[in-house]
A and B are shown apart, each in its own frame.
Chain A
Amino acid sequence: MAVLNEEQTMLRDMAREWADNESPVTAFRNMRNAAPAEGYDSAAWSEIGQMGWGGIVVPEAYGGSDFGYLSLGLVVEQLGRNLAASPLASVGPAATAIAMGSSDAAKNDWLGKIATGDAVATLAIDEGPVHDPATIATAVADGKLSGTKEFVAEGDSADLFVVAAADGLYLVAGDEGVTRHSRTMADARSHAQIVFDHAPATRLGGTDLTQKIVDRATAVLAAEMLGMAEQAFAVTNDYLKTRVQFGQPLSTFQALQHRMAKQFTELELMRSVVEAALEAIDAGRSDIDQAVSLAKAVGGETLKLVSREMVQLHGGIGMTDEYDAGLYLKRAAVLEAMWGNAAYHRERFARLNDY
């Protein structure tokens, strides 16, 4: 655990308590079964808005708390533990794009609403099934943006899109020129295709803004993955202690103990790299890109290990829909691919280090 200040500790504890009381895994399961169009739990999102978590990375002048990315990561990690279906991980980085790149008027229009949860903003970056920010065909002419974005998280309901065009980021608000196509995916969350056809768009300024924002989104995602991995591991550890075979709890078998010790070891490394990425963002370090790729690559491999072991170590019950292991497995695989899988980030890390 990173060394936290008082407000961060309070925020983390509050998020954990809220997630355990108000958003346990059964809440996610209920959302999945009800299958609302927005792909998240809107009642829970409204509570999150009231608690101000939408504004954790929004500047104070615009109604946020400006606690920073480590704080946002701590909250998202707690929500991730219980697979809480909320757009928070998309909203934060999108808010930063607006805070960094837009006019005061646009900030006034949107940041306050984002901070209170009254507006959902999201990122529309990729144009294919694999993260590839270097290949973007979306273009803007005369303030009108056209292009097709794939697998846009919260795309089914977002009020506001931060869209990557070939020459940088743009803000698209409202439905003019915007068509949404739902995609039903294994994790039962919203990942829509968004077709922009001459949608009115405002340029978001700043150098390398696309990369900065995608890096932030990736770091927050890694925090969600950390929460999931830790909880998946904890559930498996508990299960091994209760499941009796050959007259003994499974947890007494050394072959299984060592598999758990291996996962624990990787989880400790994962925590270090994820927290370091979030801290690098808050400190404004020059090597945020490296820190983020390290976090996503190491974190992706660890979540993959832990979520697959969760199913295997549960045995047959892990294969049933009634049990939670499958929910973690399916969400894990989606997050592993999102914003670049481990191989993508290893290659990026290697290029940054001249390997």
Chain B
Amino acid sequence: MATAAELDAPTKPLDTFRHEARDWIEANFPPALKHAGNAMATIEGPADESADETAWRTAMGKKGWGVPTWPQQYGGGGLTSAEARVLNEELGRAGAFNPIGGMGVMMFGPTLLEYGTDAQKQKYIPDIAMGNVRWCQGYSEPNAGSDLANIQTFAEDKGDHYLVNGQKTWTSGGQWADKCFALVRTDKSQKHAGISFLLIDDMHAEGVEVRPINLISGFSPFCETFFTNVKVPKENLVGQEGQGWTIGTRLLQHERNSLSGGGGSAARMNAGNGITALAKQYRGADEHGRIKDADLRSRIIRHEMDQRAFALTLRRAALDAKSNQGPSAATSIMKNVGARITQDRAELGVEIMGMNGLGWEGEGFSSEEINQTRVWLWGKAVSIYGGSTEIQNNVIAKRILGMLDHQ
């Protein structure tokens, strides 16, 4: 039978490609960047690129390997998914990383490749593949959060262009973005069918105002974005007028895929005895070496088991997908369970550290303690963004359990 060993084992040797990739990485990856992270993939904002980082991004971009499976004609790598896995393995082996990322890669690019015209793909995809532009997502509005289809930002037909007016919110990385893919209303008489998918080419143009939102964690990764009489050419419409909901929800599938991957990495990140060691360090151990506070220990055990069960569920879903049983029903629970584990972990961390786990900044606290405070507060977002826990529960009830809407 196909087992965990099969999943965990390296992909089948595609020897020729593996050697090509290995040699190329060796020749192009600046050793100084070994084990550094991908600054572009974070929403914390762009760090100033070092010369090495620019060189590495440019090399990977030209090779098309930042988006290895995208078509070569638009600047992608044209690799099969098996080759892309090999490439990933080789990057990991060399201590290298993919320097190209962000919403253009994760969400917008795959959607445009599916729904865009050839001209649109030629215009936008190569820049994403090179890591030259940052995209942001113009979806949520003050009155369209969980009820996303209630968006009101209006794109008025002016013959050769649209005139866009309205307000978006929770625009991740809006203050650093060059371009925006947005859901706008082109028809006020229909809810879902009045929505269109429109590309805003310049986030710095007149009429576009971006205001960062200060969060409880002290971070400002999200913005409010105001559009006032912004002219957008007609050729920036993706698909047909009224097709925006279909295209927009397809894009959300790409987002969910990347978020549940995030749940997976959260599970790995939290794995092990980190929280146990922390508890023993701050609260002490008894004569048998056990966490001294029995009540705390009991809750840590539950948390660790929850996490282990989640990791096994991720593995099971991956095996299901691999053996072509189709997407597992288990995928529908990933977002909620991932959020619960992340938040439980942070709550435990704060509790273990006592008052030190609530330090905000400055003297008297270790950087780990300050970080614990911020991570705890930031983590409250996890059960809200990308479809709140309540929305996920609605989805499970309606789509999987077949429970109907209240009339």
- CB within 8 Å of B: which residues of A? 1-5, 8, 237, 240-241, 248-249, 251-254, 256-258, 260-262, 264-265, 268-273, 275-276, 279, 283, 294, 297-298, 346-347, 349-350, 353-355
Q: Which of A257, A268, A276, A346 contacts B329 (CB 8 A)?
A: A268
B405 part of interface (Cβ distance < 8 Å)? yes
B401 part of interface (Cβ distance < 8 Å)? yes
- A237 proximity list for chain B (CB < 8 A): 401-403
The docked-state distance in angstroms from the alpha carbon of A297 to that of B304 is: 12
Q: Which of B2, B336, B403 contacts A265 (CB 8 A)?
A: B336
- A350 proximity list for chain B (CB < 8 A): 290, 297, 301
Q: Which of B301, B308, B337, B405 contacts A355 (CB 8 A)?
A: B301
Assuming A241-B403, A353-B273, what are 18 further A-B pairs, CB within 8 angstroms?
A: A1-B325, A3-B1, A3-B325, A4-B1, A240-B403, A241-B404, A252-B405, A254-B394, A257-B394, A257-B398, A264-B400, A265-B336, A268-B313, A271-B330, A272-B309, A272-B330, A294-B305, A355-B276
B295 → chain A, closest Cβ, in Å? 13
Instruction: Establish whether residues A273 and B309, one from each chain, have CB atoms under 8 Å apart when the complex forms.
Output: yes
- B301 proximity list for chain A (CB < 8 A): 346-347, 349-350, 355
- CB within 8 Å of A: which residues of B? 1-4, 273, 276, 289-291, 297-298, 300-302, 304-306, 308-310, 312-313, 315-316, 319-320, 322-323, 325, 328-330, 333, 336-337, 390, 392-394, 396-398, 400-407
Instruction: Establish whether residues A265 and B309, one from each chain, have CB atoms under 8 Å apart when the complex forms.
Output: no
Instruction: Identify the closest chain B residue to A293 (Cβ).
Output: B305
- B289 proximity list for chain A (CB < 8 A): 354
Contacts known (A258-B390, A355-B304); A265 close to B396, Cβ less than 8 A: yes
Instruction: Establish whether residues B403 and A272, one from each chain, have CB atoms under 8 Å apart when the complex forms.
Output: no
Instruction: Establish whether residues A269 and B313, one from each chain, have CB atoms under 8 Å apart when the complex forms.
Output: yes
- B304 proximity list for chain A (CB < 8 A): 349, 353, 355
State the 10 A-B residue pairs at the shortest beta-carbon distance, nearest first: A257-B397, A261-B393, A261-B396, A272-B312, A5-B1, A272-B313, A251-B403, A269-B309, A252-B406, A3-B2
- A264 proximity list for chain B (CB < 8 A): 333, 396, 400-401
Q: Which of B4, B276, B333, B390 contacts A268 (CB 8 A)?
A: B333
Most buried by B among A260, A279, A355: A355
B192 → chain A, closest Cβ, in Å? 21
Interface of B is mostly: helix
Interface of A is mostly: helix
Instruction: Establish whether residues A241 and B406, one from each chain, have CB atoms under 8 Å apart when the complex forms.
Output: no
The docked-state distance in angstroms from the alpha carbon of A346 to that of B299 is: 10
Contacts known (A265-B396, A268-B313); A279 close to B290, Cβ less than 8 A: no
Instruction: Establish whether residues B320 and A1, one from each chain, have CB atoms under 8 Å apart when the complex forms.
Output: yes
The docked-state distance in angstroms from the alpha carbon of A249 to that of B406 is: 9
- A355 proximity list for chain B (CB < 8 A): 273, 276, 290-291, 297, 300-301, 304
Q: Which of A4, A260, A271 contacts B401 (CB 8 A)?
A: A260
- A347 proximity list for chain B (CB < 8 A): 301
The docked-state distance in angstroms from the alpha carbon of A271 to that of B320 is: 13
- A279 proximity list for chain B (CB < 8 A): 3-4
- A257 proximity list for chain B (CB < 8 A): 393-394, 397-398, 401, 403
Pairs across A and B, CB under 8 Å, 15 listed:
A1-B320, A5-B1, A248-B406, A252-B407, A257-B403, A260-B401, A260-B403, A264-B396, A270-B309, A297-B305, A346-B298, A349-B301, A353-B273, A353-B276, A353-B304
The docked-state distance in angstroms from the alpha carbon of A261 to that of B406 is: 16
Instruction: Establish whether residues B305 and A349, one from each chain, have CB atoms under 8 Å apart when the complex forms.
Output: yes
Q: Which of B1, B309, B407 contacts A248 (CB 8 A)?
A: B407
Instruction: Establish whether residues B397 and A261, one from each chain, have CB atoms under 8 Å apart when the complex forms.
Output: yes
Q: Which of B322, B337, B406 contacts A253 (CB 8 A)?
A: B406
- A252 proximity list for chain B (CB < 8 A): 403-407
- A258 proximity list for chain B (CB < 8 A): 390, 393-394, 397
The docked-state distance in angstroms from the alpha carbon of A347 to that of B394 is: 35
Instruction: Establish whether residues A271 and B316, one from each chain, have CB atoms under 8 Å apart when the complex forms.
Output: yes
- B407 proximity list for chain A (CB < 8 A): 248, 252
A292 → chain B, closest Cβ, in Å? 12
- A249 proximity list for chain B (CB < 8 A): 404
- B394 proximity list for chain A (CB < 8 A): 254, 257-258, 261
Instruction: Establish whether residues A298 and B309, one from each chain, have CB atoms under 8 Å apart when the complex forms.
Output: yes
The docked-state distance in angstroms from the alpha carbon of A8 to that of B1 is: 9
- A240 proximity list for chain B (CB < 8 A): 403
The docked-state distance in angstroms from the alpha carbon of A153 to that of B351 is: 44
The docked-state distance in angstroms from the alpha carbon of A105 to that of B27 is: 67
Most buried by B among A262, A350, A353: A350
